Amino acid sequence: MIGIIGAMAVEVEGLIAAMEQKQAETVSRVTFWRGTLSGVDCVVAQCGAGKVNSALCAQTMILKYGASPVINTGVAGGVGSRDVRIGDLVVATAVLQHDYDTTPIDGDQGRCLPILGRERLETDARVSEILADCAREAYGGVHRGLIATGDQFISGKERLHEIARRTGALACEMEGGSIGQACALADVPFAVLRAISDNADDNAVDDFPRFARESAEKSVALLLKALPRL
């Protein structure tokens, strides 16, 4: 059973529309759609934005529906100085939470997640490479690298550059790192596929509503192509 999570309606509605033999069940106010996508058993949910919503959703998918792997699809802000542009696809090699910080009391260790003891969580190499191959075939290219997650919509060069300089991230969003954390704690493989909707800079507030739909649908279309290979 493959779990697929998107935060916003536009990030999952194409999947729910394409799902066959679908059944819906609501748990903790989130609706989980079970059925087949491209002939593959899947469970799809719209989790709502942010780290808490997405982690809870991932854990429910794992514990209640046996999801493995879990794939996070959606849009992200691209780090333009790393050549990541609106409309580009990014498949994460790893995720981190840029706003997790206990350095005032823990020093160098203060960016490491409790229990897991590390800052970066590696995505599943096999699933991620299949997603990336499909992106190369369908769109002629894909970015591979770190995605930075936090409970913030990034809309200014200063904050973006601080995150990019400190972490080396290619893109920022609000769920991949926390879905990764829930999956890592449960030893479930995960992947993060994002299409860029804005540059997380001073234009992001205008770009996001302009490009989110088109980019989110690109990520969904790619996922539908990739599912039978997973």
Residues identified as active-site = 11, 198
Q: Which is nearer to ligand ADE, 3 or 176 (CB)?
A: 176
**Separation CA 167–CA 115 (nearest Å):** 21
**Is the C-alpha dihedral spanning 212, 214, 219, 221 positive or negative?**
positive
Q: Which two tokens stand for residue 94?
A: 């790893």
d(CA 210, CA 34): 31
Nearest-angstrom CA–CA distance, 76 and 36: 26
To the nearest whole angstrom, how small is the minimum distance from the Cβ of residue 140 to ligand ADE? 23
Q: Give residue number: closest CB to ligand ADE.
A: 77
> Using only C-alpha atoms, what is the Rg of the chain?
16
Residue 116: both structure tokens together = 């897991």
Shortest reach from residue 130's CB to ligand ADE, in Å:
24
Which residue's CB is nearer to ligand ADE, number 33 or number 208?
A: 208
Instruction: Decide whether 11 or 35 has the Cβ nearer to ligand ADE.
Output: 11
Residues that bind ligand ADE (CB under 6 A): 75-77, 153-155, 172-174, 197-198, 200, 204, 208
CB of 148 to ligand ADE, least distance (A): 9
